[in-house]
Structure 1
Amino acid sequence: MDLTEQISQLEADLAELGSLLEKAERKRVKDVLTQERNKVEKELSVKKQQKEQLAKRELDPSAATKAAYTVKITNYAWDQSDKFVKIYLTLKDVHKIPSENVQVTFTERSFSVLVKELDGKNHQMNILNLLQPINEKDSYKRYSKITIKNDMLLIMCKKLSTQKWECLTKVEKQSKEKDDGLMNMLKKIYDDGDDEMKRTINKAWSESQEKKIKGGDMMDF
């Protein structure tokens, strides 16, 4: 069913729901019908926007490509369960663009996301060197398997084992290990050092905290 047919069906549903609402007398029935009407109205609005975007591309297919430029996706968070590593991307109005505009590709150790023509831009994210290998075939890479709700895009990476991930990538783990190693080294120096050495380390710690609060990029000793 193409967009025109979908819009036609939704408009018919909306008209019928309106008719039922006029006839309904019980509050509970009215509430259910009102809730469903609001849901259909929202879906109809999205479909009409999609149809408008498609019409613009048909009139000038090159216009969207010329206007769009690519920006890096930096606003994301991640979580995990025993079976999946979940990456949450925040992209305003991502649920309003056509499904084919969202492309996700997986490999055993990486995934990439390309969201095309959203707010006049293409949005891209590449995560390389995942901490553990994933099952690329069972990861959610089809648009229909990507959960889109309001401004949130959810990518599901299928784990090969139930092992808990310490972080998302190998690079992050190496950075953490480096920081932990530095902390351990400083702790040993502090424990073994004389009073002068301890005063020096305490001063460095205090200064680093002050700069961190002011927005500096010093390492947290």
Structure 2
Amino acid sequence: MTTSPWQPLSDREAGLPIDRTVHEGVPEHLEPGLRSWIRDSVVTESLVHRVVAALRLSTDTHTFDNGRLPSSAQGLSRVPVSLLLDVVDCLLYLDVGEVAHHEYLVKHPNVLSPLAAVFSKPAKFVDPVDTLDALLGDAVSAYQVREADDSAHAGLERVVDATVADSVVMATRQAEASSRSDASFYLRSSWAKAYALHPDSSGAYVDAVRAVEDVAIPLYASTEPRATLGSVIRELDRNGAA
């Protein structure tokens, strides 16, 4: 997401402060772009069917064009606005960028050849994931793209203050540098659950506790076979009292 918000020329000349409003859901100025992104990014019919299956879409609970479930990119782009972010989140989960890149290579089999740039000059591949992240940033959406890692799939996540995000990155790196790989894993997992499109607050809390336990138990409660964070707290209380 763009770190320096753009301000219209008219506002700059009027000396107005930058509007830092973050927009929840699908504001009017973002909806056309999201629908266009879905049409352009979904390049296989099978991907449409996977989204329908993954989201458990049903004509009993939602209204679709012609009263039928989407069967094409065009149809998927016309889902009710209440489903748009779920569809986008699901497409990221299903690796829409990888699917698009694979289809690009199928259509341009010689693109990797050194001679291709000289003779055929195929159109450059544009990663739809990058396009989406730029669109969300331009719209100052409350969401941005979350890249997949070993603790979470790709998807949408809430935009968080840069200072907070940097602190989490630093903590995970320090855990890895200290050979606390479990702590690093649980920190990333906790973050993904806390700031996902549909947050899992209890799961995020459990993973955060596990991350702390992985670091603290060997230091303060290593003699207890089934030590927990509670064991660490009791040990710290005893040492403090002493």
By percentage of residues, which structure has more helix?
Answer: 2
- TM-score greater than 0.5 by the shorter chain: no
TM-score class, shorter-chain normalisation, is under 0.3
In our comparison, the structure showing a higher alpha carbon Rg is: 1
- State the TM-score, normalized to the length of structure 1: 0.27
- State the TM-score, normalized to the length of structure 2: 0.26
